[in-house]
Structures are given as structure tokens and as C-alpha cells.
Copies of this chain bind each other. A is one copy, B any other.
Amino acid sequence: MAPPPEPGLRADAERNRERILAAARRLFASDGLDVSMACVAREAGVGKATLSRRFPSREDLINAVFADRMDAYVAAVAQALADPDPWHGFIRFVHDVCAMQAADRGFAEVLAMTFPAAKALEARRAEAYHGLLELIRRAKATGRLRDDFTHQDLVILLMANAGVVAATHTAAPDTWHRLVGHLLRGFATPGTDLPALADAPSTTALYRAMLRAAKPADGRE
């Protein structure tokens, strides 16, 4: 699960590295990719210098934190391709990926943007990309995915879902289900039957979500 990820590092340094990664994972997940490096260091219980030394740029940190999530992303593609019913695999993929975005606001942002500098991330994105093309091709062949669907639409889906997640993750965290349900109905050909549409979030929960979105979020300790 966690084999020596950074060789040639002293034991305590490696321990600090892990603490930083854990802290960053936590903060990115709840507050997005824009948390200050100082916050991460504080949360990790290390000095800011230590953080800077280990991860000179924010992108380095993002790269390290989300490497395993990107593995899960690639795995979701593989799993979808393994499904005997490509359309079912497609639905499942969309659902799983959006669930990942909902569970981790930082990852939602990672999926919706690209970091040319983060080689590990981009390599996996490319890997997933080719699998997705194949998945789309097969799903279209079943006649249940619209013929004019393109791989760009998946990116659009991720961006849209990132928007919903960013706005609702605290006060109405299930809202994304509803978006995905609507979009899948848009992606499917007319006769196709689909999983039931999730319930809409309550009006008050959604209102609270709209409130939260305004506040820059409060950093407690």
C-alpha cells in the first residue's frame, strides 16, 4: 500500500513526508486545491520550511497527493471496460468518477484541470483517455449511447460536476447524483432505460449550500 515512495530519505523525514501528505489530503479534500501551504504545514505539525523543502511547489504536492486517486480513476476505466455490458459499464464509470469528485473536492478540481508539470498525473490521465475512447466506442455500438456523444463531453461532465460539488459539498453533498442522473438521460438514446433519478436535494439544504459557497470557508484548528 505504501512502499518506500521516496528513497534515500531519512526515517524521520519520511515520517514527516507522510504527515504532510495526510494533512494535504485532508485539506485538499475539504477545501479544494487553493489552501495555503502554511495551512498544510500547520495541519501536518511541521514547519513551513519542511514542507517547502519536500514539495517546492504546490503542484509537486498535488502530484504526490493525488497519485493514488488517479490510480483509482484509471481503475474505474478498466472496471468499466471489463463490464460485459458496455453501456452499463459507461453508466457505472460516470457514476463512480463523479462520486470520487464528490468525496474529494480537491480531486474534483484535479480532474477538471490539467497540470503539464505533474507527469505522474498526466500520464495516468492519458492512460485513462485511451480506455475511455474505447469505452465510448463500445457503448455507442450497443445503440444506447447517443452517436453524437464525444469524449469531450466527459470533460464537460467533470467540469459541471466540479461546479456542483464545489457549491454543495458541505450543505447538500448528494446533489451531484441528481446532476449525473439528468446528464445520463441526456447522453442516452431515446428508448434506453436508466437507473432511477435520485431525489432532488431539499430546498433548504440547497439554500444553505448556496450560502456556504459565498464564505471563503473557515479554518479551524
For the complex, is A213 an interface residue (Cβ under 8 Å from B)?
yes
Stretch from A77-85, A134-142, A158-166 that touches the partner: A158-166
- Taken together as a complex, chains A and B put the C-alpha atoms of A210 and B191 apart, in Å, by 34
- Copies held by the complex: 2
- Taken together as a complex, chains A and B put the C-alpha atoms of A197 and B207 apart, in Å, by 31
Which residues of A from 145 to 166 have beta carbons under 8 Å from B?
148, 150-153, 155-156, 159-164, 166
For the complex, is A187 an interface residue (Cβ under 8 Å from B)?
yes
- The residue of chain B having its C-beta at the shortest distance from the C-beta of A163 within the complex is B163
User: By the criterion CB–CB under 8 Å, are B156 and A164 in contact?
Assistant: yes
Residues of B within 8 Å of A114, CB to CB, are 207, 210-211, 214
Question: CB < 8 Å: which of B116, B181, B202, B214 contacts A186?
Answer: B181
Question: CB < 8 Å: which of B155, B166, B191, B206 contacts A155?
Answer: B206
Knowing A182-B153, A186-B182, say if A113 contacts B163 (CB, 8 Å): no
For the complex, is A144 an interface residue (Cβ under 8 Å from B)?
no
- Taken together as a complex, chains A and B put the C-alpha atoms of A207 and B126 apart, in Å, by 12
